[in-house]
Amino acid sequence: MEFNGQIDYSTHERLVDSVKDLFQTHLLPIPLKNKAIHVVIECLENMYKHSENIENQIINDSFSVSLKPDTIFLSFSNPVTKKRMLFLKEKFENIENLSVPEIKAKYNEQLRSQINFSKNGAGLGILRIGLLSNNKIKYNFEPISENSYYFRLFITIDAV
């Protein structure tokens, strides 16, 4: 399943429903489907909230789902400002070498602190994605211009 276009509230809802329908047509383990749905909702919501219009250019968001019997591959892409890129890069770098128990501890710590009320977001969501995927999160930033980037996020969720 693939989508290219602008993500807004109604598109977000339609895409989540389409993913749920896709999962229903495949014999995937229920816990795998549930984890993937939570990740899809989190990532699409972030795209909806944080995708940027870049210098009067129309640059589409994109989203895809690929399935194997015990694995779901998710890909999300959207334009971001340089400021947002630096923020996201720092958040991802903070968890990329952590084990799942370390991510869980960091997630619980942040839940108990005031940090999760930050207007900048991206803290708890990235930790939640790391917990649900149980795999390393892959990402990159492709320059569009001096002050804008195309952010790509790749998530693999295994049944185990």
Output the six-digit token pair for 155.
């998530």
CATH of 2-158, one of 3.10.20, 3.30.565, 3.40.50, 3.30.300: 3.30.565
How high is the pLDDT of residue 121?
A: 46
Instruction: For residues 34-46, give the mean pLDDT.
Output: 94
Distances (CA, A) of 92 to 5, 54, 99, 100, 137: 25, 23, 13, 14, 8
Instruction: For residues 54-76, give the mean pLDDT.
Output: 88
Helical segments of the chain, H only: 9-24, 30-50, 82-95, 100-112, 123-133
Pairing relation of β-strands 138-145 and 71-81?
Answer: unpaired
If pLDDT is split at 50, 70 and 90, which confidence band does 159 have? confident
- pLDDT, tens only, 93-140: 989 889 889 999 988 888 888 554 554 444 788 999 999 998 889 999
| Domain regions of the chain by residue span | 2-158
